[in-house]
Structure 1
Amino acid sequence: MPRSRIGHESRSTTTVLVAAVSILAASCSGDFYDPPGLRADVEAGDVLRSEPIALQEGVDGTAQRVLYVSTDIEGEPIAVSGVIVRPTGDPPEGGFPVVSWAHGTTGVADQCAPSHTEPFALDGMAEIVNNGYVLAATDYEGLGTPGIHPYLVGESEARGVLDIARAARQEAGGGNKVVVWGHSQGGHAALFAHQIAGDYADDLEVLGVVATAPPAGLAQFLQQGVNDQDFLAFSAQAYGSWAQVYPEADPATIATGEALRSGGKALEECTVSIASYIGSADVKPSDVFKADPADTAPWPELTEENTPVGDERGIPLFVAHGGSDQLVPMEGTVAFVQASCSAGEAVEFVTEPEWDHNAAFHAPMPQYLQWMSDRVADAEPPSTC
């Protein structure tokens, strides 16, 4: 799992309520994340700036924090931050293969961007980079850089994931062969990368997608926070950011008056701190929601729009989820896998009843790292369909 910076614990109920309805972009964390004006001729994947950062021990490579061009859901160019790790040595003919990593939930405040953390660390990175792969790790739109982070907005996440793979060609000798890998929120991003890669990034050869513990059943995942305090931080961040991203999403249709009156501040904390405060201050879902978003337009339509579709894209899938996952329900993943299989996609689905949310990332890692290598080697993809 990636190490992420966690903010200090919130000191007021207002901060938590703002998470539900009025998330504004936090101030940029340093000049690096403040993008230059984008020229009219910029293209997705262009690197705007980069700087070296420290890397965890045991990785035979070098890391660069990067600011690169992506595209928002309106089709406009934006700057997104991330990290690109290059293996030592010269790239082979055609460039290094690229693994594009999509991280799990850290928050929507700028300081929650994983690229802030030094040394940059990720379980599995040494095995990837030391075997001659570039690792490209997006922060996602608005996480680190100006503007709102569209939390669990699938197309935004996926564009960030695909465009940093493009940036790796310029920054780290990367080639066109790409495998996408994501966990939790990142699994959601990975499934959307599977969905849009053929249309959005046809210059990349996306050879496979690995998604572990993805919230593929997005409606069920978000409903948990409407009903249960333990999940409120996640639902609050999702609906709060959607209210900023989608003009038709009026927070007044679902938020309490107290929540609306507390609006206008940035969300300054990361997810772990928000969740901790919700528990310690006993903030209940009824303090935030006056109506169920699942029954209030346009929220169900937006949820459906951001639910990955299981279909045939000609890109093999490796999906893992645990039967003891208490954070992300496995039922949505099973439904996604079944739909993908029915459509004719090659899917390797692995699960164990004792795996919790994190075990679905760690336990099958040797299996899916080999699976990635096999995709680059053009081996026949296995399927458990």
Structure 2
Amino acid sequence: MRFRHIKEPSSMGSYSSDDVIFLLKNISDLIKEQSNEEREFIMQNGGHYSEMLPIEYFPTEEYMEIFYKTLASTKEKVAKAAAIVGELIYRQKGENAVIVSLARAGTPIGILIKRYLEWKYKKKFSHYSISIIRGKGIDENALKYILNRHNPQDIQFVDGWTGKGAINEVLNKATSDFYDKYGIRISEKLAVLADPAHCVELYGTREDFLIPSACLNSTVSGLVSRTVLRDDIIGENDFHGAKYYKEWLDKDVSGAFIDTITERFSNIAIMEKDIENIEGKVYNKGIKEVTEIKEKYNIRDINLVKPGVGETTRVLLRRVPWKILVDDINNPNLKHILILAEDKKVPVEVYKDMSYSCCGLIKSKAKESVK
């Protein structure tokens, strides 16, 4: 099937087009950012997060120092995890594999996997970054663009990490809906660098460690914002939207992150046992633990519980946190979490009964709780 009326993507983001093609509409002049307090109240009273953008947190020198130190200490671990995922993808998809990362946390991970595959197998691989939104689904126009150029069986979706597995469920439903509409079957299997939720088959590690790209927002993601879907600015034939922070080019570390990890590929050796150690079994431990936390802390909405280092970082950067749970106050993966919590005066509590390193709890802003 050839899809018609699909637009060509505009130039977007600070990455080279050799690394990724963003299938996103540039809405830089069409949307105004809102404070975390304002957005939180709107979201918890009927509004949708995809209709707004947060004011991006600009990191302090101390915080950037943690980013660089974390990058230095985890570069080989990240490189090995990316290589393992790359090998798993290659074994399933072969040399025609098409990486489709989920913007924006998936984008740098998709680039790392693409670069590993090209380094290892000495051929070019395609990589697109598209939007998927909880409660609204995947960008079908972006999928149609890809399907006009590639076979559906070659598509491999990629994200950065799993929290409680919500995006996994959105992807499952989106691919099912796409099949019902168009009769085209796309695998719903998601590949991630880290799977602390134990909810995907393709992963590099299940350790809940700090992936350096989770530390920052747009400045480590090609200067691209979170994705937006709003009827007044996204037309029927448009891709989902995003803002391009071109004015921050001098602060951008997106390329430095990718290059630092890529340079380690030649130093790591992926053995057959590394691949065999990837269980490929799904336990969905994450959602069970999150449900227990929700009940223990009397939280009305499970979406206010955000487990894992990556998700807790997001809570501190662009939500209104109530409390941070940590497995161990001396956990080296949590240095940036503790700095952010102190900066925002958010209490930190030790909570041992979880397989995650930490969990962010969002403050309730429902109308009934506002005085």
- TM-score between the two structures when normalised by the length of structure 2: 0.27
Could you say which structure has the higher helix fraction? Answer: 2
Q: TM-score, normalised by structure 1?
A: 0.27
